[in-house]
Chains A and B, each alone.
Chain A
Amino acid sequence: NAGVTQTPKFRVLKTGQSMTLLCAQDMNHEYMYWYRQDPGMGLRLIHYSVGEGTTAKGEVPDGYNVSRLKKQNFLLGLESAAPSQTSVYFCASSPWTGRQALHFGNGTRLTVT
């Protein structure tokens, strides 16, 4: 019962470095999401995808890019990391949207110095 798996679990970057966060789900879900969680801010949607080959912007997309080349994977990229991107990143998936609950991974804690 893997569900939604995120890698890595922790990462420290220097300002200006790049990295990619990987999310994989084994539930054959159509929709996938990237959120960031910051103290006092709750969860904010970065980008999402409604199917293989599609992506769309969420509430806070600046500084991030995403790709969904395979249905089961959703990648979040930071091209030039900034300290403001220090956060905990969560990936989630759902079979379809509208009234469906999301299934979350355990998060990636990113620190940008």
Chain B
Amino acid sequence: GDSVTQMEGPVTLSEEAFLTINCTYTATGYPSLFWYVQYPGEGLQLLLKATKADDKGSNKGFEATYRKETTSFHLEKGSVQVSDSAVYFCALSDSGGGADGLTFGKGTHLIIQP
């Protein structure tokens, strides 16, 4: 079945550092790929998405490129802020149009220190 693998962390960085959170996936066909962010005490919010190979999703300074050849969707940001501290989830959707939602990775806890 489909699966998503991501580094679990916690990942601790200093403010203004460069961020990479790795995400790789296993799926048949051509799934859509997503990054969600969860702030403490809140639900998951969509951060960015990409629906086909070589697409780049971007939002709030974060970027991720859908790489079919390496089955990856790594999240990057050039200069992180304390407010970026959160848990980040990589997810994929069933390319066959199935109704059973998204498959999530286990989440990466990011801590940004001032």
Question: Do A and B originate from a single complex?
Answer: yes
Binding site for B on A (CB under 8 A): 4, 31, 33, 35, 40-43, 45, 48, 50, 56, 58, 90, 92, 94, 97-107
B45 closest partner in A (C-beta): A104
Chain B count of residues within 8 A CB distance of the other chain: 27
Instruction: Find out whether the CB atom of A56 lies under 8 angstroms from the CB atom of B34.
Output: no
Given known A-B contacts A40-B106, A50-B99, A58-B101, A97 and B93 have beta carbons under 8 A apart: yes
CA A50 – CA B101 in complex, angstroms? 10
CA A23 – CA B18 in complex, angstroms? 38
- B52 to chain A minimum Cβ distance, whole angstroms, is 9
B8 closest partner in A (C-beta): A40
Question: Does B97 lie at the interface of the complex (its beta carbon under 8 Å from any beta carbon of A)?
Answer: yes
Say which residue of A41, A50, A100, A104 sits within 8 Å of B93 (CB atoms): A100
Chain B residues, CB < 8 A from A94:
101
Chain B residues, CB < 8 A from A31:
99, 101
Say which residue of B46, B100, B106 sits within 8 Å of A41 (CB atoms): B106
Of the candidates A4, A33, A98, the one having the most CB atoms from chain B within 10 angstroms of its own CB is A98
Some 18 contacts from A to B, beta carbons below 8 A apart, are A40-B8, A41-B106, A42-B105, A45-B101, A48-B100, A90-B44, A92-B44, A97-B97, A97-B98, A98-B93, A98-B98, A102-B44, A102-B46, A102-B102, A103-B46, A104-B44, A106-B41, A106-B42
Instruction: Find out whether the CB atom of B106 lies under 8 angstroms from the CB atom of A98.
Output: no
Instruction: Find out whether the CB atom of A104 lies under 8 angstroms from the CB atom of B97.
Output: no
B102 closest partner in A (C-beta): A102
CA A102 – CA B92 in complex, angstroms? 11
Mark interface residues in B68-99 (1 if CB within 8 Å of A CB, else 0).
Answer: 00000000000000000000010001111111
Given known A-B contacts A40-B106, A42-B89, A43-B89, A101 and B101 have beta carbons under 8 A apart: no
Given known A-B contacts A43-B89, A90-B44, A104-B43, A98 and B97 have beta carbons under 8 A apart: yes
CA A97 – CA B98 in complex, angstroms? 7
Residues of B30-69 at the interface with A, using a CB-CB cut-off of 8 Å, are 32, 34, 36, 41-46, 49, 51
